[in-house]
């Protein structure tokens, strides 16, 4: 193990001798520190390039601002090839020993951030050892859900708390563009610019690099998608038939908001069913897509039924997905889904399919709480309200909403007030 090379890499990544890039503050950093200070492991997961590394830097900057010695903070980015020798828990312990040698105040508990930790075999053994002895506060990050699955659940049961990092919300996106929304007046004063930026947000999404690079945003999305597919799916899952995987991934990001079934995909794409199932799990493991179940009182029926597919960022679908003409409706629906996922968690989002459909049903405490129907325009109001009416006939105490691009009013369905909201304004609500 080359001690000098490792120390140079650590100096490059850490705040020991210079400020590191921290970008525009996001709320995630405070959540990470709250978990770490509770002697739990903060596992920070999410799609590649959603801002996890920058969030770690923001957390470290906050620690230093509060009086923590910079040398009592440590970040290791395992994507740096200089850390390629750190392949397992044993070599990670050796790197930690090197770090301990340069610390001045050994009585202080360091704050350790392990970035893209899934690259280190049995990393959870290292983390558990330090956490059990309360030797260090620890956060880990990864671009695959394996960080929160399997061995982590077993070895760190009750000792960790997960945070999913999404690409920028529309509120954060505006902040990157220089518009900070703190009040209704801010919205009114900037409405024209906000609506223009919302179109950009629908077409190109909310990855931080995309938000700050208007001129090359399509290239950024193309490269980002290729990185996810090649590294976090094909390489990580050891996919042998790369063409099948790429066809399936393209199918999903083209069909956002549509119902899908594995058997139909198998027939259409000519991919064996077992491969469709395995590859889908790998694609979901990278956080590239989510599948939404239909609302059903029967668990078996729900799991077997057709699911709806959404991509982590609608910009990927718009730039990469196959399309004959430009339509913003599916992109809007996808953006609404991701915002709902931020607010309620993916496990609480379903869709309804009876005689008619409702795009999103929110469950809390096993009870239907809210309904969301998404449409770019109200060209056919009767069609958009049929599904809502179907549920409201059975559940009187549920709140329903219709989200559009830029229409706003209130209607009644079965004597219940149903707001029709501008989706961009709804996304800016707290």
Domain that holds residue 340: 171-427
Q: Which domain-ending residue is among 164, 196, 229?
A: 164
Which of 47, 84, 88 shows the shortest CA–CA distance to 232? 47
Mean pLDDT of the chain: 95
Instruction: Note the pLDDT tens digit of each residue in 19-68.
Output: 999 999 999 999 999 999 999 999 999 999 999 999 999 999 999 999 99
Instruction: Note the pLDDT tens digit of each residue in 255-278.
Output: 999 999 999 999 999 999 999 999
Residues 62 and 135 in one domain: yes
Instruction: Report how far residue 71's alpha carbon sits from residue 64's, in angstroms, rounded to the nearest whole number.
Output: 10
Residue 301, sorted as left (phi over 0), alpha (psi -120 to 50) or beta, turns out to be alpha
263 burial level (CB within 10 Å; 0-12, 13-18, 19+)? exposed
Percent of the chain with pLDDT over 90: 89
Q: In this predicted structure, what is the pLDDT of residue 145?
A: 77
Q: Is 140 helix (H, G, I), strand (E, B) or coil?
A: strand
Q: Does residue 145 contact residue 43 with C-beta atoms inside 8 Å?
A: no
Residues 42 and 186 in one domain: no
Residues 40 and 175 in one domain: no
Instruction: Note the pLDDT tens digit of each residue in 224-241.
Output: 999 999 999 999 999 999
Residues 191 and 147 in one domain: no
Q: Which domain-ending residue is among 164, 188, 211?
A: 164
Q: In this predicted structure, what is the pLDDT of residue 149?
A: 67
Residues 274 and 208 in one domain: yes
Q: Does residue 28 contact residue 44 with C-beta atoms inside 8 Å?
A: yes
Residues 206 and 95 in one domain: no
Ramachandran angles phi, psi of 2, nearest 5°: -85, 100
CATH code: domain of residue 59: 3.40.50.300
153: confidence class by pLDDT, cuts 50, 70, 90: low
Residues 397 and 273 in one domain: yes
Residues 13 and 128 in one domain: yes
Q: In this predicted structure, what is the pLDDT of residue 430?
A: 74
Instruction: Note the pLDDT tens digit of each residue in 293-352.
Output: 999 877 778 878 899 999 999 999 999 999 877 789 999 999 999 999 999 999 999 999
Residues 154 and 189 in one domain: no
Q: Which domain-ending residue is among 164, 185, 209?
A: 164
Residues 291 and 250 in one domain: yes
What is the domain count for the chain? 2
Residues 230 and 124 in one domain: no
Instruction: Report how far residue 172's alpha carbon sits from residue 27's, in angstroms, rounded to the nearest whole number.
Output: 10
């Amino acid at each position: 193990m080359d001690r000098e090379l490792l120390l140079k890499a650590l100096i490059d990544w850490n705040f020991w001798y210079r400020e590191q890039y921290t970008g525009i503050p996001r709320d995630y950093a405070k959540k990470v520190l709250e978990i770490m200070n509770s002697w739990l492991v903060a596992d920070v997961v999410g799609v590649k390039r959603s801002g996890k590394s920058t969030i770690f830097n923001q957390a470290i900057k906050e620690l230093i601002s509060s009086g923590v010695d910079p040398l009592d903070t440590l970040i290791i980015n395992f994507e740096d090839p200089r850390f390629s020798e750190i392949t397992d828990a044993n070599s990670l312990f050796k790197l930690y020993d090197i770090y301990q040698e340069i610390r001045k105040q050994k009585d202080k508990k360091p704050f350790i951030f392990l970035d893209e930790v899934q690259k280190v075999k049995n990393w959870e053994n290292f983390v558990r050892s330090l956490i059990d002895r309360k030797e260090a506060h620890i956060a880990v990050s990864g671009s695959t859900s394996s960080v929160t699955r399997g061995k982590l659940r077993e070895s760190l049961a009750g000792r960790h708390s997960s945070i999913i990092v999404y690409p920028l919300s529309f509120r954060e996106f505006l902040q990157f563009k220089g518009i900070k929304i703190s009040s209704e007046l801010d919205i009114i004063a900037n409405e024209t610019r906000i609506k223009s930026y919302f179109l950009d947000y629908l077409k190109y999404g909310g990855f931080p690099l995309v938000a700050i690079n208007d001129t090359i945003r399509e290239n950024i999305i193309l490269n980002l998608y290729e990185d996810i597919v090649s590294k976090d799916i094909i390489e990580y899952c050891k996919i042998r038939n790369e063409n099948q995987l790429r066809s399936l991934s393209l199918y999903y990001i083209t069909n956002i908001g549509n119902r899908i079934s594995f058997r139909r995909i198998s027939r259409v794409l000519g991919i064996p069913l077992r491969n469709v199932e395995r590859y889908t799990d790998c694609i979901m493991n990278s956080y590239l897509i989510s599948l939404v179940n239909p609302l059903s009182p029967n668990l078996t029926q729900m799991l077997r039924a057709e699911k709806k597919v959404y991509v982590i960022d609608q910009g990927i679908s718009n730039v990469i997905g196959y399309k004959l003409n430009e339509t913003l409706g599916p992109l809007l629906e996808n953006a609404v889904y991701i915002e709902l996922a931020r607010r309620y968690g993916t496990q609480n989002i379903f869709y309804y399919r009876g005689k008619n459909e409702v795009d999103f049903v929110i469950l809390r405490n096993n009870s239907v709480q809210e309904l969301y129907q998404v449409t770019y325009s109200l060209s056919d109001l009767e069609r958009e309200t049929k599904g809502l009416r179907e549920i409201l006939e059975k559940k009187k105490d549920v709140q329903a909403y219709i989200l559009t691009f830029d229409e706003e009013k209130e209607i009644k369905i079965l004597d219940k007030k149903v707001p029709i909201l501008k989706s961009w304004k709804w996304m800016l609500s707290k």
